[in-house]
Chain A
Amino acid sequence: MRTVPIGTARQAARIDAGGHTRRERENRRKKVEEPPANLVNEPQGRPPAKRQRVNNASTRPSRDPASALDHVELDLIKYPEGVRGPSTINLSLNTFLLNDFGKPENLIKAIKLLSNVSRGAANPSIDLSSILLALEVRGNHLVPNLIATSFRANAHLDDLEKNATANRLKTILSYIIHFLTLEYAIVPELRKENPTQTLKWIEGQKYQYFADMLNAAASSVPTEPEAERKEITGIKVRKHRDYGRVFWEYGQALGIASLLVFAVSDIGLSRVGSSSRAGIPQLAADLSTDNTWWAFAHSISPPTFRTLFGSCNIAYSVPELLNRIRREPISPTTTIAINKEYNALQIPASHRTALDLESEVPTAVQGRNWEIAIGEQTLPVKRHPTAQALVSENMVRRNLGNWLKNTPGDEIVEDSNGNSTPFHAFKSLLAPSDISHDLIDFLTNVFNARAIPGRIALPVAHGVLASFGGTLEEFLNGLSAPPGGVPERVLCPFDVEEATIGIVIAASASTIIVYNWVNKHNLADEVVQVFS
């Protein structure tokens, strides 16, 4: 009896031909809806530290290559019906936010904002006089001057969104800075100065104490005209601190990249800032099971942190940020939105890798500094929403090696394009067998769905081109053209007995690049013979 169903695997006609009864097929289909077997449910309420140790241990590479995948365990989260609870705290706000965080166009806007901020391109200071002065012109110069004025107005309108979102982001960061400064710098100082006072007394005094410090700092700045200086009150400090606390906690719960989405959202900052913090965990739980948001937060939080709270020494391009998301499992709608943005940028596919490499930094440096140090305290910064609000029934753990070993090889896996792959193809991941052509083709389809417009990967069947006999141009023209027309870069595996060799055909340069990872030069010679 087969005991391990797979999520979207379906019994196809091929299995039916093997003699399974209808009841067997129905049972199998039913199993697909259930949590996979051979899973160990996480104990509810387990301390985070223990979880981390288990995960860390689970990913330690095995010294025995035959059992490398036996040591890989995955946390699975079931969504969405098991997560969205009946909480009514911030119900309408959370509904709007969930909608905003799930919109690919908002995520694209957020990426543009991050790119602009990292490049210093967003200029939130707007000089109104530069637009309006020419309106007073009379006489012969009226039209030319108004055209010039309209030109400036048009430039302003072009930059309006960029400036508006940058201003919102600055506002959010200003609130957060007030919150962090007050709680992690001012309060400790107040305690030091008043060691005998109670916590309640400190809480009552801190806002005015901070306001006095800010006013003293303002008066010591000689360049600011006295008439324009406004006294900040303790009440205003308290409001800023409260807003900052809410935004900081949203950033912690949803991933630090969420601050970008708040900046590009249409929801008023004061509405978010004055909302109840008690509603944040529910939103985090919902978003922790949203593939689009999770992929965005996981891939964009590192550059967000580096730009907003870190060294801010990398100018991220929009294509590079979009490409980070492509590596994640993302929905087709997000892929379409990304590709649409790519087409709008009009960057040839062949040039995009060079753009990415501009900001290449060592992996070890990329991931550092995931905390903010203030005084003697360090604040961790979250990368993506956590699933702490999930109940154990929605969290399961699976061993990857067992999944491969125990799933019947005759199961049929159907991808989103309707292509069927027998499960035994996946079993070839287990050493020492060679990786099957079916698996390569399966993953080729997966990656093609996320491809940069103009790039395409061919299945193994196309890898051996010896029998084609035509020219390279004829070969490229004969490919089923993707939406962008004939592809600019074609990737394919070249399968020889001893190795798999990677081939990249750059159509625009009429160049074929051979990647041979096996140190046997004669293998690449076979490729040259085919393509010469």
Chain B
Amino acid sequence: MTAYAKIGEEELVTSKRDSTLRYLDFLCREITGSRGRGRPGCLSIDGILEAVAVEAYVQVLNASWRVVPVRFFEENLELGAMGGSAGS
């Protein structure tokens, strides 16, 4: 049986590149079961691109450096109060 998933207006994209980014975001959330952290598709394409790029970077550098994920800074920006030294 084949079923179509409901796709919200805000999740729709127009290019193949962006649909692949949507897939990668969906893949990460689905396979780690972390959909509860936010509705799939709530990230902007730029946000997904950034998350994917950071993930790739983390994987490339993981042997000797730790990368502070960028999304942490974004959250700080939203929160406004994290002790005054975001990302430090």
Given that A356-B35, A370-B82 are known contacts, is A61 also in contact with B46, CB under 8 Å in the complex?
Answer: yes
Distance of A39 Cα from B78 Cα, bound (Å): 27
Tell whether, in the assembled complex, residue B60 and residue A413 are in contact, meaning their CB atoms are under 8 Å apart.
yes
Chain B window 1-43, contacts with chain A (Cβ cutoff 8 Å), 1 for yes, 0 for no: 1111101000111111111111110111111111111110110
Tell whether, in the assembled complex, residue A77 and residue B65 are in contact, meaning their CB atoms are under 8 Å apart.
yes
- Return the contact of A61 from the options B15, B41, B44, B57 (Cβ within 8 A): B44
Interface size band for A:
35 or more
B55 to chain A, nearest CB (A): 7
Which residue of B has the minimal Cβ distance to A364? Answer: B78
Which residue of B has the minimal Cβ distance to A321? Answer: B36
- Give the interface SS of chain A, mostly helix, strand, loop or mixed: mixed
Which residue of A has the minimal Cβ distance to B17? Answer: A434
Chain A window 403-427, contacts with chain B (Cβ cutoff 8 Å), 1 for yes, 0 for no: 1100000000101000000000010
Tell whether, in the assembled complex, residue B70 and residue A59 are in contact, meaning their CB atoms are under 8 Å apart.
yes
- Return the contact of B57 from the options A59, A294, A320, A400 (Cβ within 8 A): A400
Given that A501-B19, A518-B19 are known contacts, is A58 also in contact with B73, CB under 8 Å in the complex?
Answer: yes
Chain A residues positioned under 8 Å from B84 (CB to CB): 48-49, 52, 380
Distance of A409 Cα from B13 Cα, bound (Å): 28
- Return the contact of A51 from the options B42, B46, B59, B88 (Cβ within 8 A): B88
**Is A360's CB within 8 Å of the partner chain B?**
yes
Tell whether, in the assembled complex, residue B50 and residue A68 are in contact, meaning their CB atoms are under 8 Å apart.
yes
Chain A residues positioned under 8 Å from B65 (CB to CB): 7, 35, 76-79, 396
Tell whether, in the assembled complex, residue A511 and residue B64 are in contact, meaning their CB atoms are under 8 Å apart.
no
**Is A283's CB within 8 Å of the partner chain B?**
no
**Is A291's CB within 8 Å of the partner chain B?**
yes
Tell whether, in the assembled complex, residue A56 and residue B4 are in contact, meaning their CB atoms are under 8 Å apart.
no
**Is A491's CB within 8 Å of the partner chain B?**
yes
**Is A470's CB within 8 Å of the partner chain B?**
no
Given that A323-B32, A367-B79 are known contacts, is A55 also in contact with B87, CB under 8 Å in the complex?
Answer: yes
Given that A370-B79, A400-B53, A524-B4 are known contacts, is A326 also in contact with B23, CB under 8 Å in the complex?
Answer: no
Chain B residues positioned under 8 Å from A356 (CB to CB): 33-37
- Return the contact of A367 from the options B5, B41, B73, B75 (Cβ within 8 A): B75
The number of A-B residue pairs with CB atoms under 8 Å apart is 297
A270 to chain B, nearest CB (A): 28
Distance of A62 Cα from B45 Cα, bound (Å): 11
Which residue of B has the minimal Cβ distance to A329? Answer: B58
Tell whether, in the assembled complex, residue A452 and residue B31 are in contact, meaning their CB atoms are under 8 Å apart.
yes
**Is A382's CB within 8 Å of the partner chain B?**
yes
Tell whether, in the assembled complex, residue B59 and residue A400 are in contact, meaning their CB atoms are under 8 Å apart.
no
Tell whether, in the assembled complex, residue A59 and residue B88 are in contact, meaning their CB atoms are under 8 Å apart.
no
A51 to chain B, nearest CB (A): 6
Interface centre among B14, B27, B39 (most CB of A within 10 A): B27
Distance of A59 Cα from B72 Cα, bound (Å): 10
- Return the contact of B46 from the options A7, A68, A368, A456 (Cβ within 8 A): A68
Tell whether, in the assembled complex, residue B82 and residue A383 are in contact, meaning their CB atoms are under 8 Å apart.
yes
Distance of A398 Cα from B31 Cα, bound (Å): 29
Distance of A428 Cα from B53 Cα, bound (Å): 10
Chain B residues positioned under 8 Å from A363 (CB to CB): 37-38, 42
Tell whether, in the assembled complex, residue B67 and residue A33 are in contact, meaning their CB atoms are under 8 Å apart.
no
User: Footprint of A on B, CB under 8 Å?
Assistant: 1-5, 7, 11-24, 26-39, 41-42, 44, 46-47, 49-50, 52-70, 72-79, 81-88
Q: Give 5 closest A-B pairs by Cβ, nearest first.
A: A356-B36, A48-B85, A7-B61, A326-B32, A323-B33
27 A-B residue contacts at CB 8 Å? Answer: A51-B87, A59-B77, A65-B46, A74-B57, A329-B59, A329-B67, A329-B69, A360-B35, A364-B78, A366-B37, A382-B83, A383-B72, A413-B59, A413-B60, A429-B53, A434-B16, A434-B20, A440-B24, A443-B55, A455-B33, A493-B20, A498-B16, A501-B19, A511-B2, A514-B3, A517-B11, A517-B12
